Chains A and B, each alone.
Chain A
Amino acid sequence: MHRNLRPFVNDLVVRAAVAAVVLVLAAIVMHVVTRGAALVSWDFLTTAPRAAGRAGGIAPVLVSTAAVTGVALAAALPLAVGAAVFLVEAVGPHTVAARLTRGCLGVLAAVPSIVFGLAGNMIFCDWLGFGFSILAGGLTLALMILPIAACVAETTLRMHGEDRRAGYALGLPQRRIVWSIMLPAAAPGIFAGLGLGFGRAVAESAALIFTSGYVVRMPDSVFDSGRTLAVHILDLAMNVPGGDGNAFATATVLLASVAAVVALFTALDGKQGRDFV
């Protein structure tokens, strides 16, 4: 290639790649929103579905979604932070324990969601006796988002290696360094990891059909079965003739809530960036 052409071609390739990414996202969002946005209203958000979801709203589905993802994040947070602190503080980076932990997290990340569903059904619904419930679904999702949340938490804690060293140099004990320095300093990054996990959890359907079920009633407690947004979309699109309109409206709500949560966590992460200028 002629030397003068090279920067031009490089530039073109990069721009084309960026355009492709943006276009794919824009196409999906447009497709969903143009068909669904008109049906989203205050009534749609606050009433129960009727006629198997063809009519009515999604109020119990929203509540179940919030409950399932809430349980998932609440259970994943201590597990992910615990694993990350263990990897950073308790064991050397290349020890057997560290490699084993990372290996397990890697395998967990690669397990297909349908397998999580079956395992969650066996462990939480059967063995622990939770039945088809929001609790069983949330705990299954917690295991799914654990690898990414733990990985991001570990990376963030390692970014604060200087603070850790400063803490030890001051004669502070390990518990003080972890609780008063590392975790508060790494909190924005840890929550960003949870935000990524939320994106995966809220979009999940396969793992939830076998664990939290798809009862569309308003749940009374976490021991009730509940249907999430993604499961509702799947059901309307696959099993309910004439449910397309509400499927797109529900998908619009799902996209909007993911965008809102991602924006929230990005804002938190951005704050961390400013602190370190």
Chain B
Amino acid sequence: MNVQATGTRKLDLSPGRAEASHIRVENVTVAYGAIKALSDVSLSIPPGRITALIGPSGCGKTSLLTCVNRLIDLIPGANASGRILVRDTDVLARGADLLRLRKRVGMVFQKPNPFPFSIRRNFDIVLSEFGVRRRADRDARIDECLRAVGLHAEIGHRLDMSACALSGGQQQRLCIARALATRPEILLLDEPCSALDPMSTMTIERLLLKLKDSVTLVIVTHNLSQARRIADQCALFWTRRGTGYLLEHGTMADLSERPQNQVTDDYLNGRLA
């Protein structure tokens, strides 16, 4: 593609206007073996908001997302450098407590992935690991999570059916509910609606808007209208010679109406694929 970025909007962290950041990404670079996927990204993600990571495929959005909960460690040969501060803990530091981190930072994937067991067992595995031992306490927590995602009326009375028998949209909401079972402070969502029909997508979007009061949400999406509908903040990633980088960052209105780059303007207005 024959476009050149003209610069990255610097984050406004000046006192007064700036909010405390919940996640602070500082000079993060990700490589898979010898291939650099993401280069030198710095970004601040405020608490209690929805931040959308957008951009074409292969520009490192998901790589950045999986750095925040260190799920990237599961990929052999993957290496992330720089710092990511969640509150004040550097999650990329050697010796970071990954189990504790992932309990605080939940994740929802592109394809709904409930465990192939009953709905109840999907929660029980998580809850019993985190010390909710009494049946009554567990049931109360399952109730709470299902209510939070609006599934309680639909499936609250048939918790013993297989989670795989639910519809795609219900499965995805179940996965969100399961992620909420650990009471996370951050929820990472990797294209959570890309496998869903428009009605289920709308349900999930409403749900995310409701959840953001209690949880910081970071969502990767290819759907620009979705980003416009739900995101408070937006980070546009682009690629240069196969390596992703952060092109521009701000509110959706900033990016749409006052883009700092021609590429941003073109991408957000559908002139670039």
Residues of A within 8 A of B (CB): 92-94, 160, 162-163, 165-173, 176, 180-181, 184-185, 272, 275-277
CA distance A231 to B178 in the complex (A): 54
A170 touches B106 (CB 8 A): yes
- Minimum C-beta distance from B141 to chain A (A): 14
Inter-chain contacts of A275 with B (CB < 8 A)? 116, 162, 164
Residues 73-113 of B contacting A (Cβ, < 8 Å): 74, 76, 98-104, 106-107, 109, 111, 113
Interface size for B (C-beta < 8 A) is 31
A169 touches B115 (CB 8 A): no
Residues of B within 8 A of A (CB): 69, 71, 74, 76, 98-104, 106-107, 109, 111, 113-117, 125-126, 129-130, 162, 164, 175, 178-179, 181-182
Which residue of chain B has the shortest Cβ distance to A161 in the bound complex? B74
B76 touches A172 (CB 8 A): no
Contact partner of B76 (CB less than 8 A), chosen from A94, A173, A272, A277, is A94
Which residue of chain B has the shortest Cβ distance to A95 in the bound complex? B76
- Contact A163 B69, CB 8 Å, known A169-B106, A170-B102, A276-B164: no
B74 touches A181 (CB 8 A): no
B76 touches A162 (CB 8 A): no
Inter-chain contacts of B126 with A (CB < 8 A)? 170, 172
A166 touches B162 (CB 8 A): no
CA distance A171 to B100 in the complex (A): 7
- Contact A185 B109, CB 8 Å, known A171-B102, A171-B103, A276-B164: no
B71 touches A168 (CB 8 A): yes
- Minimum C-beta distance from A75 to chain B (A): 28
Inter-chain contacts of B130 with A (CB < 8 A)? 171
- Minimum C-beta distance from B140 to chain A (A): 19
Inter-chain contacts of B100 with A (CB < 8 A)? 171
Inter-chain contacts of B109 with A (CB < 8 A)? 162, 165-166, 169
Which residue of chain A has the shortest Cβ distance to B71 in the bound complex? A169
7 A-B pairs with C-beta separation under 8 A: A162-B109, A169-B69, A170-B103, A170-B126, A171-B100, A172-B125, A173-B129
Apart from A169-B102, A173-B99, what are 10 other A-B pairs with CB-CB below 8 Å? A165-B113, A169-B69, A169-B107, A170-B102, A170-B106, A170-B181, A171-B100, A172-B125, A181-B115, A184-B117
Inter-chain contacts of A165 with B (CB < 8 A)? 71, 74, 109, 113
- Contact A162 B111, CB 8 Å, known A169-B102, A170-B102: yes
- Minimum C-beta distance from A169 to chain B (A): 4
CA distance A259 to B68 in the complex (A): 52
CA distance A275 to B76 in the complex (A): 29
- Minimum C-beta distance from B110 to chain A (A): 10
CA distance A160 to B113 in the complex (A): 10
CA distance A180 to B116 in the complex (A): 11
Which residue of chain A has the shortest Cβ distance to B125 in the bound complex? A180
Inter-chain contacts of B107 with A (CB < 8 A)? 169
Inter-chain contacts of B162 with A (CB < 8 A)? 275
Which residue of chain B has the shortest Cβ distance to A169 in the bound complex? B107
- Contact A185 B116, CB 8 Å, known A168-B102, A277-B164: yes
Inter-chain contacts of A94 with B (CB < 8 A)? 76
A166 touches B113 (CB 8 A): yes
B125 touches A92 (CB 8 A): no
A166 touches B99 (CB 8 A): no
CA distance A180 to B118 in the complex (A): 13
- Minimum C-beta distance from B195 to chain A (A): 12
Inter-chain contacts of B69 with A (CB < 8 A)? 169
Which residue of chain A has the shortest Cβ distance to B69 in the bound complex? A169
CA distance A39 to B226 in the complex (A): 73
Q: Which 5 A-B pairs have the closest CB atoms?
A: A171-B102, A171-B103, A169-B107, A92-B76, A162-B113
CA distance A199 to B164 in the complex (A): 32
A93 touches B76 (CB 8 A): yes
- Minimum C-beta distance from A272 to chain B (A): 8
B113 touches A168 (CB 8 A): no
- Contact A163 B115, CB 8 Å, known A169-B102, A180-B125: yes
Contact partner of A163 (CB less than 8 A), chosen from B101, B102, B116, is B116
Which residue of chain B has the shortest Cβ distance to A165 in the bound complex? B74
CA distance A93 to B111 in the complex (A): 24
B164 touches A181 (CB 8 A): no
Inter-chain contacts of B116 with A (CB < 8 A)? 160, 163, 185, 272, 275-276
A171 touches B182 (CB 8 A): yes
CA distance A165 to B106 in the complex (A): 12
Inter-chain contacts of B106 with A (CB < 8 A)? 169-170
CA distance A207 to B216 in the complex (A): 63
CA distance A92 to B71 in the complex (A): 15
CA distance A172 to B126 in the complex (A): 7
- Minimum C-beta distance from A233 to chain B (A): 41
A171 touches B115 (CB 8 A): no
CA distance A180 to B111 in the complex (A): 21
Which residue of chain B has the shortest Cβ distance to A277 in the bound complex? B164
CA distance A142 to B171 in the complex (A): 41
- Minimum C-beta distance from A94 to chain B (A): 7
